[in-house]
Structure formats: C-alpha cells, structure tokens
Amino acid sequence: MKRTDLSKYNNSWYKPGNIIMRTLWYWTNALVFNHSLIPISGIKVFLLKCFGAHIGKGVVIKPSVNIKYPWKLSIGENTWIGEQVWIDNLDTVKIGANCCLSQGVLLLCGNHNYTKETFDLMIGPITLEDGVWIGAKSIVTANTHCKTHSVLAINSVASNNLEAFSIYRGNPAIKVKDRVMN
C-alpha cells in the first residue's frame, strides 16, 4: 500500500502570475484588504482593478477580506462582499451582479488529490450567477456553478451545482426548497 510522500509534491505546472505582481499583491492584500483599518470600498475596488480584476459599479467590500489573485476575479454590479470573506481563487472566480457573500464565506478553488502519493494540486473555477446569496460561514468548492438567485444557507458546503431560484442547506448541501421572491 502506497503512502503520501510530500517530498514528491510538485506543482511547478501551476503558474498564477509573475512573481513581482504576486509580491505586490501580497502586500496590498495584507495592508489594505485583510484587516479592518481601511473600511472604504472605493479604495479596495480601485486597487482590485489596478491588479486586473473586473469589478462592476456599486460593489461593497467590507473589512478583513482576503483575495488570493485579483487578476482571476470578476465581480458584477451591486454585489456585497462581507467581513472575513476569503476568495481563495487559484482558478477563476466569477461573481455576478447583486450577489451577497455573507460574513466568513470561503470560495475555495483548490484542493489536493488524496488518492495520489504526491498529493497533487487540483484546481477549478467557481461561478456565482446574478442574485446568488452565500450564507455566513459557508463554503463553495472548485468546479461549482451556483445558478441565478440560488441560496446557500448558513454554514453549508456546496460542492455541486446549485439550481436557479433554489435554497440549499447542509454539508453536503442539498436542495430544501424553492426561492420564491415577492
């Protein structure tokens, strides 16, 4: 029986961006985004755009947000990013218009292949269509597509696609009812 051997781990195939850009972003993220000293969304939106993110009008970014690579991020108009959201976008993350990522949400584009001795890195995109609401402390994993106006309830884990106008809850998240809007 083989065992995990992390000395054989090699993710040299993964090229998230040049080292200078990644270093500049690391410090910008640490000093401006990932603590509560600068609560002004406009400054954060400006900086994200400078680093290649596509950001719509009216986006609100609360304090203590962590974003891995802004050049792999797209956010539509009037979307809210709550406190302590972590967008670990090793791959592309597309967030539509009028979405809400509540406090402590984790968008996780990477994982490791536990069936391989080398524990290979696996990545995949995440798409949240318009009107999606991800509840506080919830996790959305790689290769997940949340269709328009779907809801992931508090402290749930989405590792499969969510249907439009549907509410999901649990780990793994399952559909519990339709989202009816008045």
Does residue 26 sit within a domain? yes
Give the pLDDT band (50/70/90) at residue 141.
Answer: very high
Nearest partner of 164 among 142, 140, 132, judged by Cα: 132
Domain CATH for 80:
2.160.10.10
Q: Looking at residue 36, what is its pLDDT?
A: 85
Q: Per residue in 2-51, pLDDT tens?
A: 899 999 999 999 999 999 999 999 999 999 999 888 888 999 999 999 99
Token pair recorded at residue 65: 């947000």
Q: Looking at residue 35, what is its pLDDT?
A: 83
Helix (H, G, I), strand (E, B) or coil at 46: helix
Residue keyed to tokens 């302590």:
84
Does residue 156 sit within a domain? yes
The yes-or-no verdict on residue 161 having pLDDT over 90 is: yes
Task: Please give the Cα distance from 180 to 120 (Å, whole number).
Answer: 42
Q: Give the helix/strand (H/E) hosting 44.
A: helix 41-50
Identify residue 45 by its one-letter amino acid code.
V
Does residue 39 sit within a domain? yes
Q: Looking at residue 37, what is its pLDDT?
A: 84
Contact (Cβ atoms closer than 8 angstroms) between residue 53 and residue 94: no
Does residue 6 sit within a domain? no
Q: Classify each residue of 2-40 as buried b or exposed e, where b means 16 or more C-beta atoms within 10 Å of its C-beta.
A: eeeeeeeeeeeeeebeeeeeeeebeebbeebbbeeeeee
How many domains, the chain? 1
Does residue 172 sit within a domain? yes
User: Rounded to two decimals, what is the model's pTM?
Assistant: 0.95
Does residue 154 sit within a domain? yes
Give the pLDDT band (50/70/90) at residue 61.
Answer: very high
Mean pLDDT for 138-164 is 98
Task: Please give the Cα distance from 67 to 90 (Å, whole number).
Answer: 10
Q: How many CA atoms lie within 13 A of 47 on its CB side?
A: 20
Q: Looking at residue 2, what is its pLDDT?
A: 85
Give the pLDDT band (50/70/90) at residue 103.
Answer: very high
Q: How many CA atoms lie within 13 A of 174 on its CB side?
A: 2
Q: Looking at residue 74, what is its pLDDT?
A: 98
Helix (H, G, I), strand (E, B) or coil at 134: strand
Does residue 46 sit within a domain? yes
What percent of the chain is modeled with pLDDT above 90?
A: 95
Range of the domain at 121: 17-178
DSSP string of 13-30, one letter each residue: T---S-HHHHHHHHHHII
Does residue 143 sit within a domain? yes
